Chain A
Amino acid sequence: MTVVDAKGSPVTDVPALRASGLTKRYGRLTAVDALTLDVPPGEVFGFLGPNGAGKSTTIRLLLGLARPTAGRAEVFGVDAADVTRAHRRVAYVPADVALWPHLTGAEILHLQERTGPGTDRAYRDELVERFALDPSKPARTYSTGNRQKVALVAAFATRAPLLVLDEPTSGLDPLMEREFRAAVRAARDRGRTVFLSSHQLAEVEAVCDRVGILRAGRLAEVAAISRLRSLHRAEVTVTHTGPAPDLSTVPGVDGVSSAGDGQLRFTLTGPPAPALRALAAADVTALAVREPSLEEIFLDYYGSENGR
């Protein structure tokens, strides 16, 4: 697909999603505050934040379902408000899927196919199998998880190069969660971009290349998961034969405690060089570094603040 600029010449490196200064206010409440973000094509981007941080509002702005108070949202260079053009490249799974109660799953998939940006039918049928969805039932009888499956199958089966998924697995069981991860990986292998808002940190850790962390409507951090880890506390355990080193003045070291005979445990934030220099005198025989999980990083951001 070739994206062209206003003059008609091809543009390279157009981000799949772009928010610049995106702001949404509801009266005195600022739900999204000057959010600036680019998601390049082909990336699986995790969008994290506690309840009420503004994740769903951001997604509604990116999809043109709500109008920004200030700033701009773009999908492959097209203004998000121009939905007839922008949505030709987007498939969306809402956080809380509501379906037409009289239509069966198959009828809803058909309606989505006929109104959508093009569907790979063979892949859709495969997804129906893999998600173990019974499409003959009226939507009124579907559980939360089954409604989510209908929306997921419809979205993954499209040919849209961008998938926007708002907490898509909150109602799925672990088996279906595994199918979901496989589908995300398959999408990435096909070169599709995935924008995944989620509370399932293990899921984000497993499938995402990069994450953005939203706090009170502002982006607190955007980084690759590996880089996020390096920015955060790693837990270090050292075994030494020499005298216990004094780490109290070393920058980045915190929470030093003895973990038994000749063992020392502490947390390390930032570059490890000063700590390693301090340890050199202690005859270290073993060194174990455990990187923080995404959950620990997440709790670091929100632990005491509840997000706001």
Chain B
Amino acid sequence: MTAAVVSPAARPASLPAPGRAVSRLAIRQIRRGGLIVVALTSGMTAMVAATFDTVMADPAAAGSLAALAGNPAVRTLFGTPAGLDTSGGFTVWRVGTFTAVLLAAWTIMATTRITRGEEDTGRWDVLLAGRITLRGAVVRHLTAVMLVPVAAAAAMTTVLTMSGTPAGGALVHGIGTGLIGLFFAAAAALAAQIFPARTPATGTAFTVLGVTLLARMVGDGITALQWLRWLSPFGLTELSGPYLHDRVVPLVVLLAATAATALTVPVAAARREVRGGLTAAHTGRPARLGLLGGVEQFAVRRVLRPLAGWALGIGAYFLLVGLTAVSVTEFLAANPAMAGQAAEAGFAGLGSVTGFTATLFALLAMPVGGFVTVRLGAFVAAETDRRLVLLTAQPISRARLLGAEIAATTAAAVTLVTVAGLATWTGVTAIGGELPLTAALQGVWNTLPVAALGLGVCVLATGWAPRLAGTVGALPAVGGFLLLVIAESVGAPSWVREISPYAHLAPVPLTGADWTATAVMLAVAAVLTGAGIAGFRLRDLRS
């Protein structure tokens, strides 16, 4: 070292700015996922926009689309259609909610992963020993995540404009979706300042997502509660009415809410300690030894808390379905022409409560598929970060260790769909409708084979490609649904449609279960699970 004496004031000018290095680190951690999300949101938007002309050229398809859009349940899920007779309005209605939820979910997970998650592991201790402050690190990581919704908004606006839709509507839709992503990034970052651990931070942000999405659905479903949409990012983008109204005020409200949330983040970060939160961590408590008697019990103990959260969300949604079922079906029964159209479109029996609930029960496989994927992903995460090591060193076979997880997850999935069935039945019964409890339960249990397929794919990934365990499980339930929707939109050959498990799902309780399809799906799930367990027994543990 030649420059041995440096006066404290004379800082070497060549020292690189620490902030930029931290920003680069943050971007590195999210770039791959970010690119995938931007590609997915803009790609699906482009694809649906491209199908508009084909759909409208075929009068039968156009009729079925009108029937589908008229279905209040579908409207509740996808939002109130605005300007469905234009290519842009059609696209926004068809994929707008899906892309917004996808973007929101990704930004939440990315934000808590690279901020609170990194802090939890202790890696930020090293980072913050450098010249950057906690506040600076949080702001730079949040900014990095926020680049993704901005890019997604730009990409969506571009593909919509290139598809020939009016630039104004494209801009309103792109900005609206981007703002949703920005809002949830800020909300997740704020939750990560409040709670001293990643799990409650992620959980809280997802609760906000669930509650605001539900608020929009309630606002769409119940006329008297339409104002609820002003309290939800999803409601606000719907109120902006791309391609039909192109209103700016709702977007300004959403922008203000996003800015207010984002500006609270550095304030909260400055008020807490590294690895601490604004809420105090527990300092000690008496031991709770329940459900710690073995790996099976322990698997149940770990699933209980997430199960309660998911059951609350799914239960609330299906209670809403139950409460609206009677008014919807009466409306359809009073409009035979519309019911006839719906029947032609494959939605026979929408005029009855059993038919209506059967259509919605099929959608249940998606959140339940997501749930099993998250649980198996958590199992692999425990293996990767070595929490599982002490258990793997016990006289417990690998098959039993994974089997306990599969059994607990399966039991939780059955509980989830049962909660959905009970909630629907409660809703229908409360409003004076006619839906036997057994019919509701048969309807929800009928969707279990699709969730089982998701679990099978997850277990297969756990055994052979553990990196994928937290994602591919959504393939049968969510991917299968998308495949069906896309295949029907573009009029793909029937074999493409048949790949989707939903093509084989009987509308229970409107009709009886398709036992052959059920048996085939369960058999495939069992084979996948068995192959996954075999792989898990043979491979090296990731720890």
Contacts and interface: CB of A to CB of B under 8 A. Distances in A.
Interface of A: 60, 63, 65-67, 83-88, 90-92, 94, 96-101, 103-104, 106-108, 110-112, 114-117, 134-138, 140-141, 151, 154
A67 B286 contact: no
24 contacts: A63-B392, A65-B389, A65-B540, A65-B541, A84-B395, A84-B397, A84-B400, A85-B395, A86-B395, A96-B386, A97-B390, A98-B387, A99-B390, A114-B292, A114-B293, A115-B394, A115-B396, A134-B284, A136-B285, A136-B286, A138-B281, A138-B285, A140-B197, A140-B281
Nearest to A118: B395
A233 B540 CA distance: 42
B20 interface: no
B396 A141 contact: no
Interface in B517-543: 538-541, 543
Contact of B394 (A85, A116, A140): A116
B392 A65 contact: yes
B395 A87 contact: yes
A192 B282 CA distance: 38
Interface centre among A110, A114, A154 (most CB of B within 10 A): A114
B393 A92 contact: yes
Given A99-B387, A110-B287, A141-B283, 11 more contacts: A60-B541, A63-B393, A84-B397, A92-B390, A97-B386, A99-B390, A104-B285, A112-B394, A136-B287, A141-B282, A154-B390
Given A94-B386, A115-B294, A138-B282, A87 B393 contact: yes
A94 B287 contact: no
Interface in B280-333: 281-289, 292-295, 298
A114 B287 CA distance: 15
B72 to A, nearest CB: 42
B390 A151 contact: yes
Interface residues of B, number: 37
Contacts of A111: 292, 298, 391
A116 B396 CA distance: 8
Interface in B353-390: 382, 385-387, 389-390
B398 interface: yes
A55 to B, nearest CB: 15
Interface string B461-494: 0000000000000000000000000000000000
Contacts of B386: 94, 96-98
A161 to B, nearest CB: 13
B396 A135 contact: no
Contacts of A114: 292-294
B197 A94 contact: no
A87 B394 contact: yes
A101 B293 CA distance: 18
A112 B390 contact: yes
B389 A115 contact: no
- 3 closest A-B pairs by beta carbon, nearest first, are A92-B393, A98-B386, A106-B287
B45 to A, nearest CB: 40
B277 to A, nearest CB: 11
Nearest to A106: B287
A134 B389 CA distance: 22
A96 B397 CA distance: 23
A94 B398 contact: no
Contacts of A154: 390
B284 A137 contact: yes
Contacts of B393: 63, 65, 87, 90-92, 94
